[in-house]
Structure 1
């Protein structure tokens, strides 16, 4: 990828809208990650942890979690959750501000997860650096779960409008979005508009944000994970653990350190 793609790195993700993130997120992946945690153990490293939605779900089940996140607005929400969570659960969560493409802890983990965020590492170099950091922090027999939207399935252009979410104070939040995909550069841009209305449906706030993500295709992902020193133990096409196929909406890779190292 070119230098222009690299300049997008600071614009990737959902910075500035952390307070809205949980309102529209899909939590259908949580049972899958809870099952994996039960099978593979903890402590768990949750990379690009966002507001901590998966980290706190894991913590509630007694797992120790380190949640790494770079976005200030996401971190703000995660820390508020930490303050308001039962101390017996909150003690299981460590929140760290940091970049998944370059981090270094004095700790190794039997389970590391990246739930649908590897695309926010925009360039090939950033993607490889992320995988190499994971490899360095994974125990020798540990498991790395990489959750990906297959790039081949991405629409070139699309629009969506989600059902407004009602809050306890009577306000509602709407989210509209437009997707623009550059297949040549393998970059997707999502223009998101959040509209907040009061109890009388008057608009009291409007927020616009641009989010960027790399499109990741199977062959390049396979090459990246091999270069980073991983091998595929299993792969699924959904959180129900159905087989991965050309029709799957997700590619979920269960990775181990390569035995050829």
Structure 2
């Protein structure tokens, strides 16, 4: 006869040890940083770019790039995903500068040339610090927040406590905890996640136009997560579908660039609904229709 009590203790011990390991080592699974030497020089063809370094109150250095155009319409604060550094992500700045917008990118702590001890609280504080620096030079009504993948959650957080022109979310997740739960469904994710990044909670407090772009074939963050997000503030939100798009290749679709152009060049207009079909109900009853 098996000793069920002994087996239960073994399973419980394994569960506790695994949870502890995941709690302390999760940064190795969430963040995939690329380190850059201090003397590394950024170069991008046909782009005017200026490197900047901002020192935070705890002595960390946040390194970033400012892509510039003549007579900018505004500035896009681009928050990247969880991998590499702005060395590679900088190539996407052209998608905004071509429309007459400056672009500011930054590396999170531990990425690229940025330094400092990384934590959920520290990253949020750093991003607000950078946003405040932008506000010193640009009125908020000219600031567009663009968040890609992991950056979509942090962009939403910024939009929830500030007043940017608009928020654009590229392949966003409902919450990072939900993404993690898909890979480790047997673990108490809500208790061990040090970076829950609850996009859906922060989105409730966003009061600017919200634009969500997502590929239908995204296998990392399912398209349905954007559908759920779009229902949180439906009057402010538009959902854009890139048919066939995956998680890392939206920039290779012509439809993505058309959508992006429409979004950043759009102006919010109030619609007179008095002369539309709003409120008209379809009747299931037979009615006489005259030709």
Higher relative CO (CA 8 A, sep ≥ 6), structure 1 or 2?
1
TM over 0.5: no
* TM bracket (short chain): 0.3 to 0.5
TM-score, structure 1 length as denominator? 0.39
